[in-house]
Amino acid sequence: MNDNISGWNTWSDAFAGWTDVTISEIHGLMTGLMTACNAPDEAGWAAILSELSFEALPDEALTLLTEEAEDTVFQLKDKDDAYAYTPLVPDDEHDLYERVMALKQWANGFMTGFGITDCHLSAEENEMLSDLAKIGAIRLAEDDEFEGGEESYLYIYEFARMVPVSFATRKRKSVKELALIAGLPIDAKTTKELQAEGKLPKPMPPVMDVMNQNNPS
C-alpha cells in the first residue's frame, strides 16, 4: 500500500505544524482508544490530548483525527472489515529503518491509548500487549541493520496489525467515562489554561511520558 492510499501523506500534511509526537504515535494512540471506546467528537479529542499534556492540534489535524477514529471504530466493529486494518506507517519505498521506527512509535502509541481505557485484560490480551511492548522497545540506530531485515519487519508489522483486531471485541464505552477526563466538562478550561491563570501549579509532568520520548540516535 503506497503512502497516498494508506493516508501517510495526508496525515503528514495535516500534522506538519504539530511536533509533539509522530503521526504513527498519534495514530496508534487513537487506535488503542478506539478498541475500547466509541469515537469522540473534536471537543472530546481536544480534551483527551490536553489531559495528556499535548499541544492543541491544528484544526485540519483535529478534524482528520476525529474522522479517522470514527472510521476505525466502524472498521474494527465488523469482523470481516477488521482484518483490513493497517497501522499508519510509511510504505516499502521508505528505508527499512524509517519503517521500523514508525512501527515502534505506533506500538507505543497503541499501548498509551489502550492503557488509559482502564480495561480488563484477558490472559491472551496481556500476552499480546507484552509482545507489542517489545516492538515499542526496539532500539536501532540509523546506520544499524535491523536483525532479520525485511522478513522480520513484515513479521512484527503483521503481529502489530492484528493486535487492535483482537482487542476490539469488547463492549465500547464513552470517552467521558475514562478516569483521565471523568467529570471534566468538555468545554471546561484545560489544564494548561488553568496553569496559565495561576489556578494550578505548573508544570505537571506529562501523564504518559512514553509518548514524548524521542527515538535513540
Pairwise CA distance, residues 27 & 24, whole Å: 5
Give the three cell numbers for residue 205: 509532568
- Whether the full predicted model's pTM is greater than 0.85, yes or no, is no
Pairwise CA distance, residues 101 & 136, whole Å: 9
**Domain spans of the chain?**
3-211
HEC secondary structure over 37-99: ECCCCHHHHHHHHHHCCCCCCCHHHHHHHHHHHHHHHHHHHCHHHHCCCCCCCCCCCCCHHHH
CB 75 within 8 A of CB 85: yes
pLDDT at 202: 41
Q: CATH classification of 3-211, choosing from 3.90.1150.10, 3.20.20.70, 1.20.120.740, 3.40.50.2000?
A: 1.20.120.740
Beta strands per DSSP E along the chain = none
Taking alpha carbons only, the member of 111, 147, 110 closest to residue 28 is: 110
Taking alpha carbons only, the member of 192, 172, 173, 213 closest to residue 51 is: 192
How does pLDDT run along the chain (217 residues), one tens digit per residue? 665 666 899 999 999 989 999 999 999 999 999 999 999 999 999 999 999 999 999 999 999 999 999 999 999 998 788 999 999 999 989 999 999 999 999 999 999 999 999 898 999 999 999 999 999 999 988 888 888 999 999 999 999 999 999 998 888 999 989 998 875 444 444 445 444 555 434 433 333 333 333 344 3
Q: How many other CB atoms sit within 10 Å of the CB of residue 49?
A: 20
